[in-house]
């Protein structure tokens, strides 16, 4: 069993922020060391139990996608070795699970692209036959494929809060119309490109979120993580049709497995209210979640 890293502790660098999964450290004034821990968040709550090896799997998958999408938009990777900026005794915390990236001005919105109707999009559609102001045809079901990918942005929540879906007009007010349009168009190109690659490997990317920043020259740059099971819904093609026709969530390589368990979880004899503290995860849920992440990476990189 891989030793889990719940919280990194890099004393040789200033800690900038500890997010739901990643710990960010300053490297001078122009770079950031991003360390992917084994923490898991669901419903915007960080679980108390880590998933051993998860941070390494996320980093490997992000690097896989950054390489294959660099022709669409620049990304934040510097190409420098993360182990080169920490002390020798700290390298074990960094090895295989860290990226040394450019420091950017982050955009205050998440760029969500949906190719299928699922999750909060499905919930919203049932109320309004639209998602984030994008009208959709009647008669769609949970996990329905969409005729074209749709762009459905969200605001970034503070730790412990929930992201809020917004429409494109609101996003334009936040970042400006020209930049909003560029983020939308690039996001859809990224999604289409990745979806084609994944489908050849037997994986459906139902939806995903991208994060962007601006470098010192004002260039739009892809940042944070990209197309991992933490930021995307991945469905194996072989399980999709049967689940779709039965009206169920398709089997997934993402956090849906944990979400489904949490929906049934109880705390002190009552249903968990999706607020901290999270209920402890059973050993089999931890093991199966780790296996899902491993299988997704293996299928993509085979």
Q: What is the pLDDT of residue 1?
A: 46
Q: How many residues are listed for the chain in this entry?
A: 302
Q: What is the pLDDT of residue 163?
A: 73
Which residues of the chain fall short of a pLDDT of 50? 1
Q: What is the pLDDT of residue 254?
A: 76
The beta strands (E) that lie in 117-181 are given as: 130-131, 134-135, 145-151, 154-155, 164-165
Structure pTM? Answer: 0.93
Number of helices (H) and strands (E), helices first, in the chain? 8, 18
Domains 15-103 and 106-273 alike in fold: no
Residue 106 burial by CB count (10 A; 0-12/13-18/19+): exposed, middle or buried? middle
**Separation of alpha carbons 87 and 205, rounded Å:** 39
Q: What is the pLDDT of residue 260?
A: 85
CATH number belonging to domain 106-273 = 3.30.470.20
b/e for 115-148, b at 16 or more Cβ within 10 A? bbbbbbbbebbeeeeebbbbebeeebebbbebee
**Separation of alpha carbons 249 and 244, rounded Å:** 7
**Separation of alpha carbons 46 and 157, rounded Å:** 14
Angle between helices 177-200 and 168-175 (to 10 degrees): 120
**Separation of alpha carbons 64 and 203, rounded Å:** 15
b/e for 66-82, b at 16 or more Cβ within 10 A? beebeebbebbbbeeeb
| Domain range annotation of the chain | 15-103, 106-273
C-alpha neighbours within 13 Å on the C-beta side of residue 22: 21
**Separation of alpha carbons 276 and 181, rounded Å:** 36
Q: What is the pLDDT of residue 162?
A: 62
| Closest C-alpha among 56, 91, 63 to residue 77 | 63
Find out whether 154 and 163 touch, Cβ atoms under 8 Å: yes
CATH number belonging to domain 15-103 = 3.30.200.20
**Separation of alpha carbons 266 and 261, rounded Å:** 10
Q: What is the pLDDT of residue 100?
A: 98
């Amino acid at each position: 069993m891989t030793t889990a890293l719940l919280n990194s502790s890099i004393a040789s660098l200033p800690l900038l922020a500890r997010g739901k999964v990643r710990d960010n450290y300053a490297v001078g004034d122009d770079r950031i060391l991003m360390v992917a821990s084994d923490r898991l968040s669901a419903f915007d709550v960080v679980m108390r139990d880590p998933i051993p090896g998860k941070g390494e799997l996320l980093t490997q998958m992000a690097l896989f996608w950054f390489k294959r999408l660099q022709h669409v938009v620049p990304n934040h990777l510097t190409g420098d070795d993360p182990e080169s900026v920490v002390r020798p005794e700290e390298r074990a915390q960094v090895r295989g699970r860290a990226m040394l990236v450019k420091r950017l001005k982050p955009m205050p919105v998440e760029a969500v692209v949906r190719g299928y109707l699922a999750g909060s999009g499905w919930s919203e559609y049932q109320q309004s036959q639209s998602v984030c102001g994008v009208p959709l045809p009647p008669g769609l079901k949970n996990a329905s494929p969409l005729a074209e990918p749709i762009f459905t942005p969200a605001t970034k929540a503070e730790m412990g809060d929930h992201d809020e879906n917004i429409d494109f007009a609101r996003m334009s007010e936040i970042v400006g119309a020209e930049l909003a349009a560029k983020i939308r168009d690039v996001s859809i190109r990224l999604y289409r490109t990745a979806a084609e690659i994944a489908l050849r490997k037997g994986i459906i990317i139902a939806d995903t979120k991208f994060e962007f920043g601006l470098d010192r020259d004002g260039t739009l740059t892809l940042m944070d993580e990209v197309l991992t099971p933490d930021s995307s819904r991945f469905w194996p093609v072989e399980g999709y049709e049967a689940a779709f026709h039965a009206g169920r969530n398709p089997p997934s390589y993402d956090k849906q497995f944990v979400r489904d368990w949490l929906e049934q979880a109880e705390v002190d004899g009552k249903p968990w209210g999706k607020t901290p503290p999270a209920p402890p995860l059973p050993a089999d849920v931890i093991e199966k979640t780790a296996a899902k992440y491993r299988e997704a990476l293996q299928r993509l990189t085979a």
